[in-house]
Amino acid sequence: MERPELPLAQLHAFVVLAEELHFGHAAARLGVAQPPLSQQIRRLEDKVGHALFRREPGGVTLTPVGRELLPAARRALNGLADGLAAARAVGDGRTGCLRISFAASLALTVLPGLLSTFRQRFPGVHLDIHEMTTAPQLAALHDESIDVGLLREPPADEPEIGFETVLDEPFVAVLPTKHPLAAQRTVQLAQLSDSPFVLLPREVGPGLYDRITGLCIAAGFTPQIAQHAVEWQTVCALVEAGLGVSVAPASIRRIRLRGVAFRGVEPRIARTRVAVAWRRNDTNPLVAHLLTTVVHDSPDRRE
């Protein structure tokens, strides 16, 4: 047997009348005249197939059928109210899930402070965080499997993706502690020309790879890459093992390895850009909240 659909307006009228037990009082509380209220109750009784109230002088009383329906009607109305409140919270950006990816080296610099500030402002938002290199982040933004990315050296040819600079960070030379240049306070890039390099593969971060190799070429040499590693911690470990030297974002100085020395790089204009990335057509209010956090609440963007 097909179940009758009970309009919420009729359930609301029924609950109010069940609480007031008086048509006049219930109509006043609902802000309607008595005849429309009576019609709503009559339509509901027609759908149920039984009387819900006994009409008596001076008021009404619930029938057994009405008493049975009342808890279910209240649950339905409360469920709707809860659903509307939850929907409004998501629409206002106060709850929901924000999917964020980040380049591993950013866990050593801007990521902790940014996430901490965001969580303080929006404690009801769940953060789904994934570690990714730059190229996979851009692909994930395009296929909508993440909402926001934190990456290095954003490309210039991504019209559908917006970028906002979070940090302008210097480079450092990564050297084995036994390397002759480790005794210097700063290193001219040209001084690394005879050393083999350990770098991230270009496919995982083409912008950063091209930035580093471009700086070397501007210094008069093409780096001879002896080894690739996907993570900066691995790059540092391979440098410690004597497989080569590297040029890396300054934040990796927080990776503590006894056999590795980090030295400033000349020219000092050699810097790398860190940016937050998002889809320009994304209307998710959580994305807008994160961008506001980046613009107004992040610490000094230049190290």
Tell me the average pLDDT of the chain.
88
pLDDT tens digits for range 147-201 = 999 998 898 889 999 999 888 889 999 999 999 999 999 999 999 999 999 999 9
The pLDDT of residue 93 is 66
Topology of domain 96-162+278-297, CATH:
D-Maltodextrin-Binding Protein; domain 2 (3.40.190)
CATH of 167-271, one of 3.40.190.290, 3.20.20.70, 3.40.50.1820, 3.40.640.10: 3.40.190.290
The pLDDT of residue 268 is 78
pLDDT tens digits for range 61-91 = 999 998 999 999 898 888 887 777 667 766 6
pTM above 0.75, yes or no: no
Q: Do domains 8-91 and 167-271 have the same CATH topology?
A: no
H or E segment and range at residue 274: strand 271-279
Q: How many C-beta atoms lie closer than 10 Å to residue 119's C-beta?
A: 13
Is the confidence at residue 207, as pLDDT, over 70? yes
- State the pLDDT confidence band at 124, using cuts at 50, 70 and 90: confident
Whole-angstrom distance, CA of residue 141 vs CA of residue 77:
39
Query: In angstroms, how far is CA 267 from the centroid of its own chain?
Result: 36
CATH of 8-91, one of 3.40.35.10, 3.90.70.10, 3.40.50.300, 1.10.10.10: 1.10.10.10
Task: Provide the angle, in degrees to the nearest 10, between the axes of the packed helices 23-30 and 8-20.
Answer: 130
Burial of 123: CB neighbours in 10 Å, binned 0-12, 13-18, 19+: exposed
Name the residue ranges covered by the structural domains of the chain. 8-91, 96-162+278-297, 167-271
